[in-house]
A and B are shown apart, each in its own frame.
Chain A
Amino acid sequence: MGNKQTTFTEEQLEAYQDCTYFTRKEILRLHGRFRELAPHLVPLDYTNNPDIRVPLSLIVTMPELKENPFRERIVETFSEDGQGNLSFNDFVDMFSALCEASPRELKTIYAFKIYDFNRDSFICKEDLEKTLNRLTKGELTAEEVALVCDKAIEEADLDGDSKLSFADFENMISKAPDFLSNFHIRI
């Protein structure tokens, strides 16, 4: 331990533990993973909170995200600047929200943001179309996609405005039993 360089101070680690669902070991591991992505960018020493952002193109090379059709959206959602550049804080935030311990409420909020492609705080038909195309790798015909969109919105829309607000989404997701286990990335 003596000659090992410290990555975080005790206080930082405690702050991370208080604010995320990770233990100190996992935080350190996450830092390792983060550093792995861009060794030349990310320093080992994080005690003075360096403001370093790793671009989206590097983040999505992680094996956990590589095959995920929503990878860009996930990264964009959690990046502070909205462009997909992640600081270490954002990185931790992302996996904390996607980990097993995070509650349904938090997951629902982030899922909503991820599926809201055009970021207008609504899941409208366009968003649904994009989601569907990613889900099926574009194997549905355009008519089928349109039909699924219509039906899905009709089913889940409570206030009749033909798009899903967060309230609609939350209500719908609360009935989906598999959402919690599926919206989960093991790190």
Chain B
Amino acid sequence: MSDGVPRGLQVKRARGLSRTVRYQNRRRLLMMAEGSKADSRADRGGMAGNFDLNQPLVGAGLESPADEEGVHVSFSQLIAEQCQDGEDLDGFELQQLDEESRDYVTELGSGFEYSGRGLNDMEMDSDGRQTDPLVSVPWSSATMKILSSMPSRTIGRSRGAILSQYYNKTLQLRRRSQSRPSIRDFSRSSRPSIRGYGMEVDVTDGPESEIKKRERLVNNLQNLSVGDRMKMLRGMPLSVAEKKNLRRLTLQKDKSPTSSSKIPCCSQLKYYIIIAVRHSWYSWLSFLHSLQLWQFLLKRVGGRFGTGVLSYFLFLKTLLFFNIFLFLVTFLFLVLPQAMHPPELPEGGRDFTGLELISGAGLFTDTLMYYGYYSNFTLQRSCAGEHNRSASSDPDCLSKRFSYNMSLAYFFTIGMSFFITCIILVYSMSKSFGRSFRIDKSYSILAMKVFSSWDFKVIKQTSVELMSENNCTQLKELLAEVVQKKEKNSPCQALWRLMVHGLAWAICIGATAGCVISVYFFSEYMHKDLQRTSRQANANPLLKEASLLALPALVSLLNLLLPGLFNLAAWMEEYHSPSVRTYVALGRNLMLKVSVLAVLCYHWLGRVAAKPNDINLVCWETFVGQELYRFLIMDFIFTLLNALFGELLWRLFSQRVLRRGRKPAFDIARNVLDLIYAQTLAWIGVLFSPLLPAVQIFKLLLLFYVKVSSVMMNCQAPRRPYRVSQMTTIFITLLCFPSFLGASVCVTYTMWSIPPSTSCGPFRNLGTMFQAGKRWVQELEKNNPDLSVVARVHAYLVENPFFLFVGAGIFLIVIYFYSQVVDGQRKVIALLQEHIEKEGVDKKYLITQLQSVHERKKRIPRRLRSQDSGC
């Protein structure tokens, strides 16, 4: 720390200032100095006695934004004050000073590097000791005072500084709540200049000023709304005792006017009501908090495996909430009304065989599980006896108050639940994007690594060791990258790499294509098989049911095996960068799942739904619902098997046979993609089987416990670094984009253009499901002609594709604007960064100037003394 020279050299090397900046500054310095010369020349006549640097600074500040002026002015004022009040300054001394300012110019012009280094030395010892041997004169107390009051030194350090900082914040908040901020206000507050933190940071931090500050802060806090006040209090970097004190003061002042003066009874009532509301709000909050699932288990997982593995479980939890929402909606609006009015069923008398739990057929067929069970009548409570007669035909039941149009409810429930899910998804996606992808590009990778890579959650000793090991290797890799730049591969090597990549991709794409083709032909074969057996009257129903399980089993098996192949291909490729490796794995798995799902959708909607009579189906929707149920259950079974045999046996194998000391790592990306796949199935299935979300909830709950125990037993934390927030964003995006969008396209297509079964379900007798809404509107218009506007609006908005296009167009335009705004912000950030750099240089210059003035002051008396002795 104390060696001045090498440090200074190193600063010279490492400062990273571009040559132009340096040049500009030098030019600015010269201009300033010349200005001061001219100024002092002008002053010499009048002898104002004030060493004013103002004007030249303004003149020199042409290229710097206007905001800087304030800073410069205040600095020069400080300098002037020092000149005035330090010692007795008379005219003679000032004249001396003016004369000296000539060599001062040359010194500054030539020695900027010197001054910069001087500053660095000085800053090293902010407590006032001067250890640099080159600068013999210690920094003056005034310089030290100013330095110590610089915002970069005071922020978050002393209590007074924090108080005044928060005082400014409360002021800003108040101002903002009073009026929308103008652009000028905004630009100033977002400026990283000293002004941003306010010049209120007092030079003297005495106890009186602190009390004053606290009073002002309390006053401000009091004027804020309760929510804002709480937010402000919580966010203050002060100790709880201090905060409690502030809160007490604020509340006291709040109360004092009410208690001292005669208050009307209503305001007292208001006061009590406010207290009661607050109280209930707190209890509601703590109730909500107690609802948080799996706190303890999540903490254990996080403590053992770190944030990466934890993100998988959090994602699972998110999916669970989506499904709970979907289930609540369908249960309330579809299942419950239908359950209260069960339709008359033909006496089939099927027995429970146990196979239903997997196949979803048999006994489950005619239950609330599936679409076919739901009736198309208007359910009416007022005439429950005749609920199976349509209301319009019955004159007694014309009281429409309790009527419940099932087909309409079905249509709107599914539509609205998809719409709300979409909004939630887009919202969480945007939030996640905001959190993980910062607008400006980061240059300080190494520093970020050092300061933000330690996962404070991890509490298990072996994981901690693993983490420090990881950190070590990552730092070494980063260091190697930084030090030796990018080494060029020889063309031969590059060609080799290209070939390996090409081969790997060919294998993966080929395997995926093979899968897709096999699923396609197998589904066709099974379909034909079904046609054949459906014609035979005496076929064993159990056997028929069991044969339906073949396709889900095949698909789940492929889903289980192919990722292993992809991993093998990735191992062959030897990716250097772990993030590229993760992305490639994600892309390949996604390709597989999307294409398989596409084939399956074609199978259901194109084969089964188009010709339901081929396989003797009464209700093809129920059949598709059963298929989806089968797929979900089969996927779950295979996941369980994977956890049991895959992970457990692999662990035993690698530990016992291969004698490897460590357990296999948990593959987060693949597991998350499995979850997304299952969720897509659930979303597609809601239309055909309103209770499918319940199945998915059950499945997720079980899966959570199975996965937690499997991870705890068989896995260790992933060795590769894992960018959690970025990956979470990608997963949410994947959930939104191919998964949810695909599911909603499927559902919309079914509703719009596939004719529903004629003898079952809420949409029988309709051309498409979509006509339910249309018919309702028409009926509405017939019954009360006043509402024809609604019908017209419906006809124009919903049935006309033009508005769909307009909506999509507006959406795209909004996205475009947002991207432009982000681009603009990026540019502004680049400008501001340059600004900071320059301001740092300015700061240095001003401080050296301050110091030189001080030095001169010391020299003058000495010279005077020598002149005196000469005389």
**Could you say which of A109, A136, A176, A178 contacts B475, with CB atoms under 8 Å apart?**
A136
Check if A148 is an interface residue, CB within 8 A of chain B: yes
**Residue contact A67 to B157, C-beta cutoff 8 Å:** no
**Residue contact B286 to A23, C-beta cutoff 8 Å:** yes
**Residue contact B471 to A135, C-beta cutoff 8 Å:** yes
Supposing A19-B233, A121-B157, A172-B448 touch, asked if A185 and B457 sit within 8 A by C-beta, the answer is yes
**Residue contact A93 to B240, C-beta cutoff 8 Å:** yes
List A contacts of B234 (CB < 8 A).
18-21, 96, 102
Supposing A15-B247, A103-B235, A158-B837 touch, asked if A135 and B307 sit within 8 A by C-beta, the answer is no
**Residue contact B468 to A139, C-beta cutoff 8 Å:** yes
Check if B486 is an interface residue, CB within 8 A of chain A: no
**Residue contact B444 to A155, C-beta cutoff 8 Å:** yes
**Residue contact A25 to B448, C-beta cutoff 8 Å:** no
**Residue contact B444 to A152, C-beta cutoff 8 Å:** yes
Contact string against A for B residues 693-722, beta-carbon threshold 8 Å, 1 for contact and 0 otherwise: 000000000000000000000000000000
Q: For the complex, what is the distance from the CA of A97 to the CA of B468, rounded to whole Å? A: 24
Q: For the complex, what is the distance from the CA of A140 to the CA of B440, rounded to whole Å? A: 31
List B contacts of A120 (CB < 8 A).
126
**Residue contact B459 to A17, C-beta cutoff 8 Å:** no
Interface positions, chain B 737-766, Cβ under 8 Å from A, are none
Select the stretch in A1-9, A39-47, A52-60, A125-133 that faces chain B: A125-133
Supposing A14-B282, A93-B239, A175-B440 touch, asked if A182 and B448 sit within 8 A by C-beta, the answer is no
Interface positions, chain A 121-179, Cβ under 8 Å from B, are 121, 124-126, 128, 131-132, 135-137, 139-140, 144, 147-148, 150-167, 169, 172-179
Interface positions, chain A 76-114, Cβ under 8 Å from B, are 78, 80, 87, 89-90, 92-93, 96-98, 102-103, 105-106, 109-113
Q: For the complex, what is the distance from the CA of A90 to the CA of B242, rounded to whole Å? A: 10
**Residue contact A177 to B239, C-beta cutoff 8 Å:** no
List B contacts of A106 (CB < 8 A).
235-237
Select the stretch in B31-39, B66-74, B431-439, B512-520 that faces chain A: B431-439
For chain A, the bracket of interface size reads 35 or more
Separation in Å of the A100 CB from the closest CB of chain B? Answer: 10
Separation in Å of the A166 CB from the closest CB of chain B? Answer: 5
Q: For the complex, what is the distance from the CA of A64 to the CA of B302, rounded to whole Å? A: 11
Q: For the complex, what is the distance from the CA of A60 to the CA of B239, rounded to whole Å? A: 20
Q: For the complex, what is the distance from the CA of A51 to the CA of B815, rounded to whole Å? A: 56
Separation in Å of the B304 CB from the closest CB of chain A? Answer: 11
**Nearest B residue (CB) for A91:** B240
Q: For the complex, what is the distance from the CA of A164 to the CA of B446, rounded to whole Å? A: 14
Supposing A23-B282, A24-B286, A152-B450 touch, asked if A159 and B303 sit within 8 A by C-beta, the answer is no
**Could you say which of A64, A66, A162, A166 contacts B120, with CB atoms under 8 Å apart?**
A162
Interface size of B by CB at 8 A reads: 92
**Residue contact B155 to A166, C-beta cutoff 8 Å:** yes
Separation in Å of the A60 CB from the closest CB of chain B? Answer: 12
List B contacts of A109 (CB < 8 A).
156, 237
List B contacts of A166 (CB < 8 A).
152, 155-156
Q: Interface centre among B233, B237, B438, B440, by most A CB within 10 Å?
A: B237
Contact string against A for B residues 144-157, beta-carbon threshold 8 Å, 1 for contact and 0 otherwise: 00000001110111
Chain A contact surface mostly: helix
**Residue contact A67 to B460, C-beta cutoff 8 Å:** yes
**Could you say which of A137, A153, A181 contacts B468, with CB atoms under 8 Å apart?**
A137
**Nearest A residue (CB) for B290:** A25
**Residue contact A131 to B451, C-beta cutoff 8 Å:** yes
**Residue contact A90 to B475, C-beta cutoff 8 Å:** no
Q: For the complex, what is the distance from the CA of A152 to the CA of B230, rounded to whole Å? A: 37
List B contacts of A150 (CB < 8 A).
10, 14
Check if B1 is an interface residue, CB within 8 A of chain A: yes
**Residue contact A160 to B438, C-beta cutoff 8 Å:** no
**Residue contact B459 to A183, C-beta cutoff 8 Å:** no
Interface positions, chain B 822-852, Cβ under 8 Å from A, are 833, 836-837, 839-841, 843-844
Separation in Å of the B819 CB from the closest CB of chain A? Answer: 20
List A contacts of B299 (CB < 8 A).
186
Check if B502 is an interface residue, CB within 8 A of chain A: no
**Residue contact A147 to B479, C-beta cutoff 8 Å:** yes
Check if B445 is an interface residue, CB within 8 A of chain A: yes
List B contacts of A135 (CB < 8 A).
450, 453-454, 468, 471-472, 475
List B contacts of A169 (CB < 8 A).
451
Q: For the complex, what is the distance from the CA of A135 to the CA of B839, rounded to whole Å? A: 34
Q: For the complex, what is the distance from the CA of A61 to the CA of B98, rounded to whole Å? A: 66
Q: For the complex, what is the distance from the CA of A126 to the CA of B452, rounded to whole Å? A: 18
Q: For the complex, what is the distance from the CA of A112 to the CA of B152, rounded to whole Å? A: 13
**Could you say which of A14, A155, A177, A182 contacts B446, with CB atoms under 8 Å apart?**
A155
Separation in Å of the A104 CB from the closest CB of chain B? Answer: 9
Separation in Å of the A133 CB from the closest CB of chain B? Answer: 10
What residues make up the interface of A, taking CB atoms closer than 8 Å to B? 14-21, 23-26, 63-64, 66-70, 78, 80, 87, 89-90, 92-93, 96-98, 102-103, 105-106, 109-113, 115, 120-121, 124-126, 128, 131-132, 135-137, 139-140, 144, 147-148, 150-167, 169, 172-186
A and B contact pairs by CB, cutoff 8 A, 20 listed:
A15-B244, A16-B240, A19-B234, A20-B240, A68-B456, A80-B241, A109-B237, A135-B454, A135-B468, A137-B468, A140-B475, A159-B836, A160-B15, A160-B844, A173-B452, A175-B438, A177-B726, A178-B725, A182-B455, A185-B457
What residues make up the interface of B, taking CB atoms closer than 8 Å to A? 1, 7, 10-11, 14-17, 116, 119-120, 123, 126, 151-153, 155-157, 192, 230, 233-237, 239-241, 243-244, 247-248, 278, 282, 285-286, 289-290, 295, 298-299, 302-303, 307, 435-438, 440, 442-448, 450-461, 464-465, 468-469, 471-472, 475-476, 479, 482-483, 723-726, 833, 836-837, 839-841, 843-844
